Structure 1
Amino acid sequence: MSLENGLELRLLSALEAMEARREGLELAEDGLERALCSNACLLARALEEAGGHTPVFSDGRAVLAGLTAEEIGALAGRWSRFSRENDPGLDLPGEELERVKGELREDPGERLRWRVLRQFGVLPTEGRARAMRDRDYLWCLANGLLDREEELERLCPSCRARALEGCCPACGQSLPEEETGNPTFDLERFEALKEGKGLD
């Protein structure tokens, strides 16, 4: 979420939110300070410089020293609304889940990012994932394709032909050719990315 002063708020993982609450409890000396300290620790993790993903404050104590109580409350309120709007949670209705799935199905870029993150066991909220650009995802994809091609080159012609056949992941039977492709793969977009077009 972009702010008007060159900063932005980002969503937090469950672990980050839990760590913020724990840090807030350690900072607060009594119950009256708990909400303010918890919000300060939340902002220490959620408030970043726009584009650079660099935290503005090192910890909750730095937030308390650098912002007024009113500023902390206002920013925490904006983050709370932003979180509710952008993080549907696990109890969303079935039709909303289908809408989200449909949007992802029609977005090859998001599906590519998911496959790369899944391959390396990285969550999208991790710093290393948030620092990646389209060029980085393309680099991972291209290397994965090269790995696949090199593996195929080491096979004999007969085994290579079988490896290239689309097979059911459950029973191993060959699939019809029209069922083995990815209908959402944008070849034109991929070729443009290979040539360095449209990369940030």
Structure 2
Amino acid sequence: MRIKKADYILTAVNPTQYPEANKKEIAFVGRSNVGKSSLINLLTNNKKLAKTSGKPGKTRTINFFLINEDFYFVDLPGYGYASAPKAVQATWGQMMEEYLQKRETLVGVVLLLDIRHLPSKDDKLMMDYLKYYQIPTILTCTKSDKISRGKRPHYMKKIKEALDAKDYPIIPCSTLEKNGIGPLLSEMETLL
């Protein structure tokens, strides 16, 4: 799959604001500061498409991006950002849950994990949630440039074991080195 065109469409906080459910959607989920927006920008070759920030918790809404005028990338709020008030975190969780459970055009999720760390409690909860609802999931290990190529398989194996996700595809990605994009796009094409 090649991405030739990507446009920001809208921001939503509840289902009444979502675009019409007439195109397939792939959602991006992960902890705050794991690099969701940066990965979306790299996949679309547009540095300004999804807003990025050095501060965790930048994405606080659900953002829809139309890809090749054919399907959507959906950037969900990051989870696990302890500095946000509990009430705000609860709102993000409710927004995500409502989207993941009820959006009939959702064909799969890209779950982003930092390759340098074992999955957090929140990562495990998200994976369990995706398994429970049988949502196809691609595990994507960001920041792979921080680990030598030879050690990446070891780290990815540990992540899969911690998530009990041996049958799920796992791809190392780096927005700095711009690697992992081809395999990730190929897995997404399978979902579509």
For the aligned pair, the TM-score class normalised by the smaller chain equals under 0.3
Q: Which has the bigger relative contact order, CA under 8 A and spacing at least 6?
A: 2
The TM-score, its normalising length taken from structure 2, stands at 0.24
Higher strand proportion:
2
Higher helix proportion:
1
Query: Which of the pair has more CA radius of gyration?
Result: 1
